[in-house]
Amino acid sequence: MTVAEFLDWPGDGTPDRHQLVDGEIRAMAPASITHGIIQANIARIVGNHLAGTRCHVVTAPGVIPRVRSSANMRVPDLAVNCLPDQAGQRALPDPILIVEILSPSNEAETRENVWAFASIPSVREILLVRSADIGAELFRREADGSWPEQPGLIGETGELALDSIGFRAPLGAFYDDTHLRQNATG
> Can you give the pLDDT at residue 178?
96
Distance of CA 91 to the CA centre of its chain: 14
Q: Does the predicted model carry a pTM greater than 0.85? A: yes
* pLDDT > 80? residue 95: yes
Query: DSSP alpha helices (H): ranges in the chain?
Result: 3-8, 33-50, 107-117, 179-185
Say what the pLDDT of residue 83 is: 96
pLDDT value, residue 185 = 52
Q: Is 19 a residue whose pLDDT tops 90?
A: no
Which residues, at least 6 apart from 20, have a Cβ–Cβ distance to it below 8 Å? 1, 3, 6, 26, 71, 72, 73, 74
Q: What average pLDDT does the segment 42-54 reach?
A: 97
Lowest model confidence (mean pLDDT) among 19-28, 42-51, 102-111, 127-136: 19-28
Q: Tell me, what amino acid is at 185? A: T
The residue that leads in pLDDT, 29 or 37, is 37
pLDDT grade for 133, boundaries at 50, 70 and 90 = very high
Q: Is the pLDDT of residue 186 over 60?
A: no
Q: Which domains does the chain have, with CATH numbers?
A: 31-185 (3.90.1570.10)
The distance of Cα 74 from the centroid of its chain, to the nearest Å, equals: 10
Mean pLDDT of the region 115-139:
96
Q: Which long-range contacts (CB under 8 A, 24 or more apart) does 167-176 make?
A: 167/46, 167/49, 169/45, 169/49, 171/134, 171/135, 171/136, 172/134, 173/41, 173/45, 174/38, 174/41, 174/42, 174/45, 174/129, 174/136, 175/38, 175/41, 175/134, 176/41
